[in-house]
Amino acid sequence: MDCLFCSIIKGEIPSTKVYEDEQVYAFKDINPMAPVHVLIIPKTHLSSINDVTEENSAVIAHIYAVAAKLAKDFGISESGYRVVSNCGADAGQTVFHLHFHLLGGKKLNVEMG
């Protein structure tokens, strides 16, 4: 399997890490859509939300806890932020390793297409 995010987790591709623990890795997006744009990814390869099951779903709760921590660390927890995960090509998913975008630091567009 040739997965960009798995390669980033392994350190084979450089990234600007902002958080890491046993379950997740978080790094700055290389094409930020907001002043704060961090990707939070599970270390276990899951292609998308479609791969989430009762057995592996605890990592999703952990990702949201990490998102809240990072929002506080980046100073956007009070002003507001967005956590987004695209599922499938029609939704805009371009890397098929489950990931969550943490976006904030400005007033975000509220249109949901």
Active site residues: 99
φ and ψ at residue 51, rounded to 5 degrees: -90, 0
Say how many C-beta atoms besides its own lie within 10 A of residue 71's C-beta: 22
Tell me if 28 sits within 8 A of 15, measured CB to CB: yes
User: Which one-letter amino acid corresponds to residue 66?
Assistant: V
| Residue linked to tokens 């297409």 | 113
